[in-house]
A and B are shown apart, each in its own frame.
Chain A
């Protein structure tokens, strides 16, 4: 399954060779540049560079790409549309709306690259080993993530169980809202119960018991991770320089 919420092990793609922390670092480099740039050219150059990386993340085929990014594309289109409708016509109208949509895409695409190429377990390993993120948080979150796909099945079962008890909203919107709230509450109760049991099981396996935790898989930072980071800096510089040269650079801040 290639849904945006697939939580199983991620199939390795060429980009998986880059350590997750290096990818997060690159994200940290690109992010401020995108946030400050107010023109169309800067985010367009960055977006082009990101698109070049898509095949390396196994998203070369339009189908695979669309399956991952359709909510994102919809969001960007929405942002542009709202700006055309309600934006100040004098401030650029269409062109500023398009610039905004490109910025949204350029901001979100590194996240898509990270998710498509990074196994959640490797991410937790990298975060705890290199950035000293608490193991309690990283592996606790990992365990909780495993339960998310179970919630979808649970939701359906609760709805069916309610119909079997004679509860159905019919055409009344208030009844719809009440049923939704009731189902959500039932789901929450179930999730808390299962979560508590999971916590007990992890406790029994010595999780977070005060002993310094070792890591069986390890997480190595190599030269290529540094190269990836440098690459991100270079692309940002190029984007800004092109924009300045073209005379379109006008930062939002300062």
Chain B
């Protein structure tokens, strides 16, 4: 694989997504591609997979895979993306792995041995007939990988394959890749936000530079350590929210999504909710955020939170939305679910406007937040066109715009690069300083140690609150 002065510009953009990249990779080599978000890592992988044609944009320099153009070499290339649900096609595991082989026109009697070999290569623990819908995220992505490997590609490209998985799922995928490329028959190129975890698996690390070009890092390279703000310990204030044996069972479901849980959220403290997938972390966040009512037990609010409500005795999930946003703010896992307007400035002014602030006051508040969070240059940009890190900052800012006393965040650092991670943790530490109560649902151990005062671990066995 060889790139000389390669660059690419999408048809809809002015700026080059990647430029002046020189890179040579020998057959069987394993390369980790790093770089800040927006440096063109994904663009490079798409180009190598032959997915960027003349319709998509303009190419500069040369790009060759095994001596041919990327689109000519496509049958020997396989690529795995972030979201397993946007990659699985069939309803059964075996059928899905066979899908690519069928597309290549392989005769049926040669397909099934290749499917079994690919499933074994990634260590897929179930049979061919396993329903894909019943798999966990990590197992789904493992299956996607088997589908990519079934055609025995010479070049395997992984584009953020673990970004949407919890730590267990990510480990499953890395182990599967390790097994699959062990024989050195496949050249591997990986892009991942969690660079450190891939280091034992790769031979080389190449960093794409935001301004163009690429540098090779020597052996022993490690990603820069995370910047963590200095902690100050705070005394617990009045209890703002309290869950008393609060549980939730989906309509028609048998097992509860959240078993009865007791927890208190005092002012000025940060509660981290951790535990494996399916333990009910996000459900608890929805109950505490008053976006859903518990089916057993109850969630109550303290007097300083209910002050000013017309009917303070009502449970929080029955509060009117405009009363809610001034008391409890919520940040969802995927920022795009929350965006409702076409401009960053309007997005930030929306909350204050809905909760009764005047037009001037709302826009003053929006300008102030943009200034503080470094979004001022993007005031007129469409929220949906922002980068992942900018979207994350904006979604936190929209929740802060109405100055709530409690902030509930679901997986705020999921899939974020190191710079965004540090920005976000700093922003949340500022909220702690301002005396807000924070509830963080997270898998990220670094966030827990950086911010949490109390940790609630949900799990199949027991629930316990530990003071950090």
Stretch of B15-23, B27-35, B90-98, B169-177 that contacts chain A: B90-98
Residue numbers in A under 8 Å from B51 (CB-CB): 200, 203-204
Q: Does B369 contact A (CB under 8 A)?
A: no
Residue numbers in B under 8 Å from A207 (CB-CB): 89, 99, 103
User: How many whole Å from A171's CB to the nearest CB in chain B?
Assistant: 11
User: How many whole Å from A178's CB to the nearest CB in chain B?
Assistant: 12
User: CB within 8 A of B329: which of A143, A164, A190, A205?
Assistant: A164
Are B355 and A205 within 8 A (Cβ)?
no
Are A205 and B103 within 8 A (Cβ)?
yes
Q: Does B88 contact A (CB under 8 A)?
A: yes
Residue numbers in A under 8 Å from B107 (CB-CB): 214
Are B291 and A201 within 8 A (Cβ)?
no
A147 to B83, CA, bound (A): 12
Are B291 and A9 within 8 A (Cβ)?
no
Interface residues of A in 157-215 (CB under 8 A from B): 157-158, 160-168, 170, 182, 186, 189-190, 194, 197-198, 200-209, 211-215
Are A147 and B90 within 8 A (Cβ)?
no
A146 to B320, CA, bound (A): 36
Bin the interface of chain B by size: 35 or more
Q: Does B40 contact A (CB under 8 A)?
A: no
User: How many whole Å from A197's CB to the nearest CB in chain B?
Assistant: 4
A149 to B134, CA, bound (A): 12
A190 to B384, CA, bound (A): 11
Are A214 and B133 within 8 A (Cβ)?
no
Bin the interface of chain A by size: 35 or more
Q: A121-B95, A146-B88, A198-B87 are known contacts. Are A163 and B104 too (CB-CB below 8 A)?
A: no
Are A204 and B78 within 8 A (Cβ)?
yes
Are B79 and A204 within 8 A (Cβ)?
yes
User: How many whole Å from B306's CB to the nearest CB in chain A?
Assistant: 18
Are A161 and B332 within 8 A (Cβ)?
yes
Residue numbers in A under 8 Å from B86 (CB-CB): 194, 197-198, 201
User: How many whole Å from A36's CB to the nearest CB in chain B?
Assistant: 38
A143 to B78, CA, bound (A): 19
Residue numbers in B under 8 Å from A190 (CB-CB): 336-337
Q: Does A254 contact B (CB under 8 A)?
A: no
User: CB within 8 A of A209: which of B103, B108, B292, B329?
Assistant: B103
Are B102 and A161 within 8 A (Cβ)?
no
Q: A160-B292, A167-B340, A216-B108 are known contacts. Are A8 and B91 too (CB-CB below 8 A)?
A: yes
Q: Does B147 contact A (CB under 8 A)?
A: yes
| Cβ contacts A117-133/B at 8 Å (1 or 0 each) | 00111000000000000
Residue numbers in B under 8 Å from A62 (CB-CB): none
Residue numbers in B under 8 Å from A121 (CB-CB): 90-92, 95
Residue numbers in A under 8 Å from B87 (CB-CB): 197-198, 201
Chain B residue at smallest Cβ distance from A120: B91
Are A166 and B324 within 8 A (Cβ)?
yes
| Cβ contacts B114-130/A at 8 Å (1 or 0 each) | 01000000000000010
User: CB within 8 A of B98: which of A120, A146, A208, A216?
Assistant: A216
A50 to B89, CA, bound (A): 33
Q: Does A49 contact B (CB under 8 A)?
A: no
Are A211 and B92 within 8 A (Cβ)?
no
Please give the residue numbers on chain B whose beta carbons come within 8 Å of chain A beta carbons, in ascending order. Answer: 49, 51, 74-75, 78-79, 81, 83, 85-92, 95, 98-108, 111-112, 115, 129, 131-134, 147-148, 151, 286, 289, 291-292, 320-322, 324-325, 329-330, 332, 336-338, 340, 350-351, 354-355, 384, 398-399, 402
5 A-B pairs with least C-beta separation: A166-B354, A168-B321, A197-B86, A164-B330, A166-B325
Q: List 29 A-B contacts (CB under 8 A).
A: A121-B90, A139-B89, A146-B89, A146-B91, A146-B133, A147-B85, A160-B286, A163-B291, A164-B324, A165-B351, A165-B398, A166-B322, A198-B89, A200-B81, A201-B87, A205-B89, A205-B100, A206-B75, A206-B151, A211-B104, A214-B101, A214-B102, A214-B108, A215-B102, A216-B98, A216-B102, A216-B112, A217-B108, A218-B108
